Amino acid sequence: MTTTSLAERGADVRGMFDRIAPRYDAANRVMSAGVDILWRRKAIRRLLRDLGPTPRLLDLGAGTLDGSVALARHRAGATVAAADFARQMLLAGGRKLVEGDLERRIRRHAADAQALPYQDGVFDGAFSAFCVRNIADLSRGMHELRRVVRPGGRVAILEFFRPERTRWFFDRFYNARVLPLLGRLVTGDDAAYKYLPASIAAFRSTAEFTTLLREVGFSQVTASPLFPAGVASLIEAS
């Protein structure tokens, strides 16, 4: 039976991300040992395959713009709409736009995934990293994602999905004990980094999420586990 995420149960996710925005990047690098950069690189490389030299792209849940900057650097002719409902995260990422023409090609929009301020089919592709777990109405958010990506366009979603079976090291030890400790040490915010493992445990499995994507109109959906040992997954849809 499909679970209900913490965001869907009413957790104040926007307030949490606005609160930790100044130290978010530092915490990410420490907790993932930089592996999240490799995950983004793989997802973006596969997303941009066959999208042409000047794709219009959406970065859904753009946060501090790591994904948006990677998209723009990987495809010199791309333009990126960086959408996130946590305004402080977008502001914190602004320092990453000083290089070259990134400020012109990446536009930041304080926008909710459940009501995106874009026309139907305006994007050739969409990227989302560790965002969908935090959408209060996930079905509505995925309907919106389907609406704004043109027919034949591509979507790449990185996420921590609920594992089918408990993984002792990652679920019982690292996520439950180490991550909250590291998050508190780097950001001083205990609650935010207790939310992370709790939100994973309460979210959908990979199979449940791929079923939802098909239900909202994506005709081709594939899921790939990511190193190490399937901690995260890459979902591709078109």
Tell me the two tokens of residue 121.
């089919």
Q: What is the pLDDT of residues 61-106, one digit of tens each?
A: 999 999 999 999 999 999 999 999 999 999 999 999 998 899 999 9
Q: Each residue of 185-218: pLDDT tens digit?
A: 667 777 777 787 788 888 999 999 999 999 999 9
Distance CA 78, CA 47 (A): 12
The CATH code for residues 13-237 is 3.40.50.150
Strand pairing report for 79-84 and 56-60: parallel
What does the block give as tokens for 42? Answer: 């793989």
Residues forming a β-bridge with 125: 57, 154
* Model confidence pLDDT, tens digit, residues 32-48: 777 888 999 999 999 99
Class of residue 200 by CB neighbours under 10 A (exposed 0-12, middle 13-18, buried 19+): buried
**Domains of the chain: which residue ranges?**
13-237
The pLDDT tens digits of the residues spanning 165-181 come to: 666 556 665 666 666 66
Residue type (1 letter), 230: G
The token pair at 24 is 């978010």
Beta-bridge partners for 17: none
